[in-house]
Amino acid sequence: MLKRKIHLILLVMMMFFQNIYVRSVFAQPEPIKTALGDIPVDIDGFATWFLEIIFGIAGGIAFLLMVYGFILMATSSGDEKKLQGAKETVTSAITGLLVSIFALFLFRLIAVNILKIPGIN
């Protein structure tokens, strides 16, 4: 009788701890907390996070270059060479921004619509 109770208790304990172990193994991993925000550990979340960061930086650089070009235009004081350099700076910034947007469009077209890679929205 005592042996049977011990077996029952051990069986219940094994089922309880197995349930905890299975939950911990198959649980979604927690993101890594950094100064840049929570970095996802799974590949789908990381790809989305990484693309948002990269295209945000590209947009910020293009904006700063446009502001710099407009300041150069305002301070050129009629000098044709300085004015031409400022126009080229603004044109290059806008071109870079358009290339970045076009690259994002192509990536979404290929990854989401054609290849239908799961997890990338």
Alpha-carbon span 62 to 72, nearest angstrom? 15
> What is the predicted pLDDT for the residue at 62?
94
Number of domains in the chain: 1
> What is the predicted pLDDT for the residue at 121?
66
Cβ pair 29, 41 in contact under 8 A: yes
**Domain-located, residue 106:** yes
Domain span at residue 46?
Answer: 31-114
Q: Which residues of the chain have pLDDT under 70?
A: 1, 7-8, 10-28, 119, 121
DSSP 76: S
CA dist 66 to 13, 70, 94, Å?
66, 6, 7
pTM of the model: 0.66
CA dist 37 to 31, 34, 52, 81, Å?
9, 5, 12, 44
**Domain-located, residue 2:** no
**Domain-located, residue 9:** no
**Domain-located, residue 7:** no
